[in-house]
Structure 1
Amino acid sequence: MPALAYMAGMSPAPLSRRFSVAPMMDWTDRHCRAFHRVMTRRALLYTEMAVDQAVIHGDAKRLIGFDDAEHPVAIQLGGSDPKLLSDAARIAEDFGYAEVNLNVGCPSDRVQSGTFGACLMREPQLVADCLAAMREAVSVPVTVKHRLGVDEQDPEETLFAFVETVAQSGVTSFSVHARKAWLKGLSPKENRDIPPLDYDIVRRLKAAHPELEIILNGGLENLEHAQAEMAGLDGVMLGRAAYHTPFILSRVDSLFFGEADPHDDPFAVVEAYRPYVEGQLARGVRLHAITRHMLGLFAGMPGARRWRQILSTEANKDGADWNVVERALVAVREARAAA
């Protein structure tokens, strides 16, 4: 599989959780991660959540395979059985993932019916047992992503007790989505917006446990907002902002790591991504599966609307190839010239 153009000949960056892109179902697939990697060498990228039994019994290569150019990349697993999770973690390590993360934050009905995700906030000892089994199975870091609590739980009690119990597993890195999850009465989409954010309680958690790595997630709107809210914490994790306005990732390396950014121009990003796209097309992947993650690249710039229109309407047609992207780029350039 061809390397991303800007990464040819480069060794993977070291794993750091100072800045990461959150695992997002239906969004952070391998094509999305390869696209994000063009813009930042240092951000830690996460897979969509992969259910432990699917990893064990399904087509693991199709489900969790990835391009080496995505490194550093972590896998997020969903499950609640220590044995199954340890088996899935071992498979993930064999695939080359740099970290294995356990999902204790997803509020969807499908996840609840499988007794994992956010509902596990009610069972911290089970979470600790799962994480301990995962740590025993692999040599790479094992981490956890979770909420402040669920439903009627009081975060002032639940969050601290949860983390203290889970830390007994030996896990030391916690990514905290700074909202409760309402499993009764709110949809997964509503759970991303309606429960109020509480960044201060996450900072108090870090102050109470300086020995733990605490990563802030939830509602961070851009890099400046993330930098401001990171005070007193170890890192930040962006989700929807990184997905819907991906070009913000082009400043991550300089702002968060003091290193040179790969590109300062969205046109250069597209050109660097081209070898990956054409390689995937040659393997039979439809263009839309790749370009759907690129729709927000020009957000807030002249031509953004035409870029989205062309990719949305033409990339899903039979035989769609790189020429569709070229036409979209021409439309953006024309809009810029007319602005």
Structure 2
Amino acid sequence: MGKSVKISVLHVILLCMTVIGLKNHVTILPPILEVGHRDGWLSVLLGAVIVLPWLFLLAFIAKSTDGQPLIKIIEEKNGKTIARIIKFIVVIEFFLFGAFTMIEMLQWVNTTFLPFTPMLVLFVLYFILCMMLAIYGLQAIMIANVLVLFVVIILGFFVAIANLRVKDYTLLLPILEKGMEPVLLATVFPMSGFLELGFLIFIQHHVKNRIKFKHFALMLLLLLGLTMGPLIGAIVEFGPDEASKQRYPAYEEWALVAIGEYINHLDFLSIYQWMTGAFVRIGFYLFLVTEILSIEQQSKKVWTYVAPPFAIICLSLMLVDQQVYLFLNNYLFLIFSCCLLVVLGIVIALLVWRKKGQRQEELHHADRGDHIK
């Protein structure tokens, strides 16, 4: 995508539904159900309430960029060293987000649909596709997202309506059966997804109009719905005990879908939902890496500087024992990313809040001090 191409806030909202929605719809459900159990849905509501004030911080950062790349603003106000530290941290985080999504998706495909296909073969094919999407740029990502999201939304409503016959909402009761502690402990998992809204400020300079608080609030509301839907669905369809034991609750809900007496086994439709969502999510985060490294749409440099480290991280996760990987993916990484995103948001807000001339003034005083000595 050329630098002159601009996208609308609507495109950003739709991108959020796919990129972050996949995580909230799939990845965070098992730990929420395991820790929060029957009251896991309360932890999602609590997480959204906690994140809501944080959106003012994102709106402030977006306003402070004034249509300029965020890293450029940080460098101008704080110097190259600080900017490089932020770039390093953010790039590593983007690589990890993409890698964990890649491996989780491949493990799901390998476990449910292609058990006899080597995971390495699946990885190579999907790796090339995601790299190509990142190279083609943000405009290609937006077009791909709009095309796939429409069908994903239809399938989501379809599975929710089709399973009404097996839902028992009394399974949501009693509320707070084990007190507030499980709810509080599980809150970190939905928050780790909601806080990813902060990464949208890295594409603010590509957006025609500034992303305001009301836009962030709307995206949070959409993510809340995308999380609550399958979470409550798993509880009322399987019961809290069975749902908390499932690795892929959202997929298991598809196994219950039946149309009449003769049409069932429609769980193959979930392949489209998961693989297209992962495709857009991974491609977007890899694009952000190229954007921060200032090598967007430079095919040779992307394959040289982005592909190798991303492949190494993915292959390393593939070699990890499956139980260890589940602990890393479902708990350690979610908690770590939640804490990091909060700290990173506060630090970036302080860095962009600093006046542009403040750094030059400090350097001037330092030079005068050296001269006097």
Which TM bucket (shorter chain)? under 0.3
- Structure number with the bigger relative contact order (C-alpha 8 A, sep ≥ 6) is 2
Structure with the higher fraction of residues in helix conformation = 2
Q: TM-score, normalised by structure 1?
A: 0.24
Structure with the higher fraction of residues in strand conformation = 1
Bigger Cα Rg: 2
